[in-house]
Structure 1
Amino acid sequence: MTMAAGAVDAVSFLGLGHAFAALQTGNVLLLAFGVAKGGAPTARPAEALAAVATGIATAHAVIVRLERRGRRRSVRLGSPVPAIIIVLTSVVVTIIVDA
């Protein structure tokens, strides 16, 4: 999963406007550098962070709802889903960048 996330970040940073897609630490740093220096672009890292925050809020709402219904097993079975999404995203990003 780490390798797939790193590959997604490398491709997205180089090909999609200097923002990281998988690991958000880089986006926080890019945003901080842009604010501190005033000349570095901040829109793409800010967009990426907003998308991650939206995803986290949505996932939290789904998990809370499932747990209230007593479906703890559904939450545990959902763990491989992020890995699958990252791998699929890396394939799509690679196809888009190569096109």
Structure 2
Amino acid sequence: MLISNIEIVPGKKIAKHLGMVQGNTVRAKHAGRDLMASLKNVFGGELKGYTELLNDAREEATQRMLDQAKAIGANAVINVRFSTSSISAGAAELFVYGTAVVLE
């Protein structure tokens, strides 16, 4: 399935517009990662544990969006956007959404 963050796909025609599809996941921080993050805050550097957590969340939310798109007969999702929000102290939601279409 094609995923794009633009509104059109060059060289393709949108045959059918199926509507918005979405996926999300809520993730909590891990105590072990928090300890390592505290050390990185002192010495500097990438918070690799959190980078990995965010990548996993993005993949899971995207797969949920694609599953929803497939279920309604789409072969592409265009105009895809990501959003995050804090749910509570130590937990955040990653949300992805786009427009499900059928391309010719």
TM-score range, shorter chain: 0.3 to 0.5
Higher relative contact order (CA 8 A, sep 6+): 2
Higher helix share: 1
TM (normalized to structure 1)?
0.34
TM (normalized to structure 2)?
0.33
